[in-house]
Amino acid sequence: MNIFEHFKVNKSHYDAKFQFDEFYFSEKRSSINDIWLVIQKLIPRKCGIELIRLGGSGDGGYLVPNDLDGIEALFSPGVNNFKNFEDYLCNEYRIKSFMCDFTSDIGKFKTPMIEGMQFFEKKWLDTNGDKDSISLNNWVELNTSETDDLILQMDIEGAEYRNLLHASQDILKKFRIIIVELHGLRHLWKDGFLNGILSPIVNKLSENFICVHAHPNNCCGVSKFENIVVPNVMELTFLRNDRIGHEIIPIQIPNKQDKSNVPSKPPIYLTGEWLMNSDINESEKNMLKDKISWLEMENIRLINKMR
């Protein structure tokens, strides 16, 4: 299947200047230089603000800059009947949450809705204009004022690409913090995916944001492109440029607060170029501690299984 069809990305998601047909029909392999040009914009950089973990201890918990005062609301598509992250933001920071997911129902949420603070629409976040869908542009415009500062948390199984391509810069700039899980990074070797889909999104975000944290989802392994190892699924946290602080706070990858998304699988770690802005010693210590912790838990699991 064509990579654009796979991710349901079409010409309407781009501005008129973009050479869509060139990439749609491309059968070229990506050059390692082009892969590096994109990856280097996803390598975490210092933001001068301590990172804190919000949400659960596993999948659904994220590291974000401790810069939440004054944020009005979170927009969270693809909740899948779980809202630990949304509950935490409400209970600890009084931040509202707007959620959508066509597969979910209010009555099926694992925790009750918080009146006046949490709002749910049974819709897909999508760009097709169907009655069962809503675009990010319309969703934000309908529920916020011009001066609101927001958070976006997006884990929508590959639909992030068409939704971010379609989103306007004016809407994206309303988000102080963006957390997005990127899927299908095994396709980086395809020129159509790298330069036709991923690169336009990364460039769009880079205009107003820096990546401040990266965490491999250990659900789906890694891919290797010469000397660059890339998780096939990865969580990234971005901070808007105007919020960057001046305090010298070293980066640790993994951060000691990071948790594997799938506890039963071996953890995955970012290495090599991914650590170029990090405190290598502390990062390696955290990696070793995490490996030991996982091995201990795996040993306990195997012993219990044998009983």
Place of tokens 């991710």: 7
Distance of CA 62 to the CA centre of its chain: 9
Cα(46)–Cα(57) distance, integer angstroms = 24
Using DSSP bridges, classify how beta strands 51-54 and 62-65 pair: parallel, antiparallel or unpaired: antiparallel
What is the predicted pLDDT for the residue at 58? 66
What is the predicted pLDDT for the residue at 302? 84
Three-state DSSP at 283 gives: helix
Cα(223)–Cα(152) distance, integer angstroms = 27
Q: How many CB atoms lie within 10 A of CB 257?
A: 17
Three-state DSSP at 251 gives: strand
Q: How many CB atoms lie within 10 A of CB 55?
A: 21
Q: How many Cα atoms within 13 Å fall on the side-chain side of residue 290?
A: 22
Three-state DSSP at 165 gives: helix
CA angle, residues 84, 290, 44, in degrees to nearest 5: 70
Cα(31)–Cα(185) distance, integer angstroms = 15
Cα(18)–Cα(250) distance, integer angstroms = 38
198 Cβ contact list (under 8 Å, min separation 6):
38, 161, 182, 185, 188
In this structure, are residues 204 and 172 in contact, taking their beta carbons and an 8 Å threshold? yes
Per-residue pLDDT of the chain (307 residues; tens, 9 = 90+): 799 999 999 999 999 899 999 999 999 999 999 999 999 999 999 999 999 999 877 677 899 999 999 999 999 999 989 899 999 999 999 999 999 999 999 989 999 999 999 999 999 999 999 999 999 999 999 999 989 999 999 999 999 999 999 999 999 999 999 999 999 999 999 999 999 999 999 999 999 999 999 999 999 999 999 999 999 999 999 999 999 998 999 999 999 999 999 999 999 999 999 999 999 999 999 999 999 999 998 888 888 888 7
What is the predicted pLDDT for the residue at 301? 85
What is the predicted pLDDT for the residue at 226? 93
Distance of CA 22 to the CA centre of its chain: 28
**Domain locations in the chain as residue ranges:** 28-306
- Which contiguous run of DSSP H or E holds residue 305? helix 280-306
Using DSSP bridges, classify how beta strands 222-225 and 149-154 pair: parallel, antiparallel or unpaired: unpaired
